[in-house]
Structure 1
Amino acid sequence: MIRRPTPPQSARRGFTLVELLAVIAIIGVLAAIVLPVTGRVREAAQSTRCVSNLRQIGSAFIMFAADNRDRFPVSWNGADTHDNNWYFQLMPYVGRVSATSWDEVIAVCLPGAPLGCPVNNPNDPGYPHCPWISYKMTYSHSRYLSGGATIGDAAAAPQAGLPVSLIANPPTSLLVAEGRAHPDFDTWIRTTNGLGLIYPHRDKLNALFADGHVASFTEKKMEERWDEFYTNAVSN
């Protein structure tokens, strides 16, 4: 009997077009399953980093108060200078030297910096005024200053902020939350432009309270509890 020689390895049959298309389809299905999960994991990590930043900011507020007669920094004193705001005053307490210009202040607020949320887009055209801002300090902690200083009243607003002793209930006294357009917010900004808050973490925001804890809220929950968090936050 004559035996036919076995064909060499290189001559064996390769993938058919149908098999190749089947493999591509399987890869597509797996990608459709894995990519959303990967995206959610990344979003969760970004939210966790944001929470960590806010806790660090909370510690900075406490250290600032210890060095300044138990007073928190003023959110904004109305002057249009780089040193008129709370994030400038907290820079030494988050591991950064004090700034001498707006550019140095902005650098500490960019994504990845101590005062910047990792999901913030500093070039967002939807927020032309200070788009690099990630967090906003409630103006309720400044509007009870001596002289009845209000937003924009640079002459009446001293650099010394709210005495910690005047905070009615620290666990429900909102201190800092995620927001855009301006580094502080008050009832005036609320009635004309909304609360000025953003909800970048799957329709939630992270908020720091005066006792140092951080919590997440939807827009609906924040609106429902606004009077508790803001209007009644400070003792007269």
Structure 2
Amino acid sequence: MINTSGFKRMRGFTLIELLAVIAVIAVIAGILIPVTSSVRKNARTMQAASNLRSWGGYLSLYAAEHGGRHPCATATNSKGQKVWQWKDQLVPYVEKELRIQLMSDPNLPSGAVSRMFNADTTFSSCYAMNVKVATLRESPSYLWSIERLGNPTRFIELADGKWNDAWRTCAETFYHDPEKPQNSSIDFRQSGDRANVLFADGHVNTMKREDIKKSMINIDGLD
């Protein structure tokens, strides 16, 4: 026979001990889940900023072929009919497989981008152009020269467009008045209640509402 007298019987957890373990796990989960959620949102914010930065590059390519000028936000013909939006002018510069990705913002439902009218060149977008460059004329004034800016590093050209839940898309232009920030059509949807903004020189910042100054929005002579 095997002598089992040397073995001790292992004691199981009591109910109180199990409840204590469960409570500790719940506390840890309560700490980790918000942290994980915040990390994920920060990552999505960085991805959206990268998308916006890419549009800065395409604006530079466009300007190189158009005498240093950028497209206005929208343009109409002599009948007042809209003929294009800023993104329609830039899409041809974008690799076909990247078009939807770069129009999207992962901090919006399903990225919030889709082809419109089943076209390869017309898309909804999560980014909006400064309404100050939304000249609506049928002439070369569809374009505006970056030379009109005193300091391109301080002028916001594109920003996170306001999300419209009914239309499931974002505004194509934005306005922002620091004196009436509640009326802003910039969407402060990024981590920390911030918005990604693209300056006319091509760099991107993620900014709080109160940090966007009037001088970053207006162009001399277009106020």
Q: State if a TM-score over 0.5 links the two structures.
A: yes
Partner of 1:134: 126
Residue 94 of structure 2 corresponds to: 94
- Bigger drift between 53-62 and 114-123 goes to 114-123
Matched with 2:51 is 53
Partner of 1:184 in structure 2?
Answer: 173
The normalised TM-score by structure 2 is 0.74
- Which residue is 2:118 aligned to? none
How far apart, in 2, do the equivalents of 1:115 and 1:92 lie?
A: 13
SS at match of 1:212: coil
**Aligned twin of 1:74:** 72
Distance 1:217-1:160 versus aligned 2 partners, 3 A rule: same
Matches within 5 A, 1:11-26: 12-26=10-24
Equivalence map 1:1-236=2 (5 Å): 5-6=4-5, 12-78=10-76, 84-96=84-96, 108=99, 113-121=101-109, 133-143=125-135, 149=136, 156=138, 160-180=142-162, 181-186=170-175, 194-201=183-190, 202-222=192-212, 225-226=213-214, 228-232=215-219
Higher fraction of strand: 2
Q: TM-score, normalised by structure 1?
A: 0.70
Aligned to 1:84, the other structure's residue is in SS state strand
Q: How much does 1:194 deviate?
A: 2.4
1:128 corresponds in structure 2 to: none
Work out whether residues 166 and 235 of structure 1, in 8 Å CA contact, stay in contact via their aligned partners in 2.
Answer: no
Cα distance in 2 for partners of 1:30, 1:186 equals 43
Q: Residue 33 of structure 1: SS of its match in structure 2? A: helix
1:24-66, Cα deviation, whole Å (9 max, x unpaired): 1111111011111111111111111111111111001000111
Aligned-partner Cα distance in 1 for 2:67–2:126: 28
Task: Indicate if the aligned counterparts of 1:206 and 1:217 stay in contact, CA closer than 8 A.
Answer: yes
TM-align CA RMSD: 3.5
CA distance in 2, matches of 1:68, 1:215: 26
User: Matched residue of 1:171: which SS?
Assistant: helix
Distance in 1, Cα, partners of 2:139 & 2:5: 94
Q: Partner letter of residue 45 of structure 1?
A: A
CA separation in 1, counterparts of 2:188 and 2:51? 16
- Alpha-carbon distance, 1:14 to partner: 2.8
Partner secondary structure for residue 231 of structure 1 = coil
Unaligned runs of 5+ in 2: 113-123, 163-169
Quote how far apart the aligned CAs of 1:174 are.
1.1
Separation in structure 2 between the aligned mates of residue 157 and residue 139 of structure 1, nearest angstrom: 18
Deviation, structure 1 residue 164? 2.5
Count matched residues. 198
| Structure 1 gaps, min length 5 | 98-106, 125-131, 144-148, 150-154
* CA deviations over 1:66-101 (Å, ceiling 9, x no partner): 1222221221114766x611112211333228xxxx
Change (3 A) 1:187 1:220: closer
Q: Measured at CA, do residues 23 and 194 of structure 1 come closer, stay the same or move farther in structure 2, by a change above 3 Å? A: same
Shift of 1:209: 0.5
